[in-house]
Amino acid sequence: GLSYTWVFNNKTLYVQEDSRRFVSQETGNLYIAKVEPSDVGNYTCVVTNSKAKQSVQGPPTPLTLRSDGVMGEYEPKIEVRFPETTYAAKGSSVKLECFALGK
């Protein structure tokens, strides 16, 4: 019964309306593709337990852009966690996701 929401600069981030952002409802991780200057600010994760009807808010995490073009300590990598076998009914749609991770 946990769900995850992110707050950006004290406003709820509606990722359903944004094709560059994704919130994993499994881990709570926020993924941002093609970071832009408008993404700079403070991000706060809010975890809600629907059964207990309670929410907990984490500390704000600042996002800044580097102007020197130098990568951080972690190189980006592609992470793929596909199941070994994926079954689908004939004529149905299947969506497989992978993410580029890094700082």
Chain segment 2-28, per-residue pLDDT in tens: 888 899 999 988 876 677 888 888 888
What's this model's pTM, rounded to 2 decimal places? 0.63
What's the CATH class of domain 2-101? mainly beta
- Alpha-carbon Rg for the chain in angstroms: 16
Do the strands 41-49 and 21-23 form a parallel or antiparallel pair, or are they unpaired?
unpaired
pLDDT tens track for 39-68 = 999 999 999 988 888 999 999 999 888 777
Secondary structure letter of residue 13 according to DSSP: -
Residue ranges per structural domain of the chain? 2-101
Q: Where are the beta strands (DSSP E) in 50-97?
A: 54-57, 61-63, 77-80
Sole residue written with tokens 């020197």: 68
* Distance between CA atoms of residues 85 and 66, nearest Å: 40
